[in-house]
Chain A
Amino acid sequence: GAVVSQHPSWVICKSGTSVKIECRSLDFQATTMFWYRQFPKQSLMLMATSNEGSKATYEQGVEKDKFLINHASLTLSTLTVTSAHPEDSSFYICSAPPIAGGSTDTQYFGPGTRLTVL
């Protein structure tokens, strides 16, 4: 099946620093990628929709200047957490619907990135 990778799988950083998380579709192309955040014992919450070649669309309550999204190619989207604080510590997951193949509801998920901000 189609594979989505995320890098890094886990990261620890100091408060105030920035962290970049990559989401790659390894064997298919995607014009759209979704970024989710999951706090412990809570559900995955959609943060933003990444669009190749255009600006990302953010969900209500998500700070676009804090969570910078770049969809540079049809196989790569990056999420940068700027000036990270301990409350940003979470599990970040991306998903990608393929351009070709599958139905309109098909999408593949990455394994997630665990961010811990000290």
Chain B
Amino acid sequence: AQSVTQLGSHVSVSEGALVLLRCNYSSSVPPYLFWYVQYPNQGLQLLLKYTTGATLVKGINGFEAEFKKSETSFHLTKPSAHMSDAAEYFCAVSEGTGFQKLVFGTGTRLLVSP
């Protein structure tokens, strides 16, 4: 069975600092990997995804993630945090046909201080 581990339920950064949210996965098949963001009272929004091809994936709002098969990781980064980045971030791996059934990590709350 596939699984996702997100290290750190909370990550605090200062505005302008580097954001690094960690995600490790386990999968017996080539995975599709996703990062979602959830703002209060809103549905999950897709930040970026890795399917095939280039291992460095760029998403919305300046975020990017790199698929490292040897490390089974898909860490999310952003060079400079903005106050508006404060939210809950979920890493997920696809399961099943159609790549629509997702297995999620426990989420990481990003806190950004002025």
Please report which residues of chain B, range 27-47, place their CB below 8 angstroms from some CB of chain A when the two chains form the complex. 32, 34, 36, 41-45
80-116 of chain A: CB within 8 A of chain B: 93, 95, 97, 103-105, 107-112
Known pairs A43-B107, A105-B49, A105-B94; A32 contacts B43 (CB<8 A): no
Q: Determine the distance from Cα of A93 to Cα of B44 in the docked complex, in whole angstroms.
A: 9
Q: How far is the CB of A14 from chain B (nearest CB, A)?
A: 25
Do residues B105 and A43 form an inter-chain contact, with CB atoms below 8 A? yes
Residue B20 is within 8 A (CB to CB) of chain A in the complex:
no
User: Contact at A97–B100, with CB atoms within 8 Å?
Assistant: yes
* Cα of A103 to Cα of B52 in the assembled complex, Å: 13
B101→A49 contact, CB < 8 A: yes
Chain A residues numbered 12-39 whose CB sits less than 8 Å from any CB in chain B: 32, 34, 36
Cβ-based interface call for A42 (8 A): yes
Question: How many B residues, CB 8 Å from partner?
Answer: 24
In the complex, the answer to whether A42 meets B106 with C-beta atoms within 8 Å is yes
Give chain A nearest CB distance to B47 CB in angstroms: 12
B107 touches A107 (CB 8 A): no
Question: With the chains together, A84 CA to B104 CA distance in Å?
Answer: 25
By a CB distance below 8 angstroms, the chain B residues around A112 are 43
**Is A117 interfacial (CB 8 A cutoff)?**
no
Taking CB atoms and an 8 Å cut-off, the chain B residues in 1-40 that contact chain A are 4, 9, 32, 34, 36
Asked if B98 lies at the interface with its beta carbon under 8 angstroms from chain A, I say yes
Q: How far is the CA of A92 from the CA of B29 in the complex (A)?
A: 29
CB distance from B11 to the nearest CB of A (A): 15
Given contacts A43-B107, A109-B45, 19 further A-B contacts (CB under 8 A): A36-B104, A41-B106, A43-B4, A43-B104, A44-B102, A44-B104, A46-B102, A49-B101, A95-B44, A104-B98, A104-B99, A105-B32, A105-B94, A105-B100, A107-B100, A109-B43, A109-B44, A111-B42, A112-B43
* Contact sample, A vs B, 8 pairs, CB 8 Å cutoff: A36-B104, A43-B104, A45-B104, A93-B44, A104-B98, A105-B51, A105-B94, A111-B42
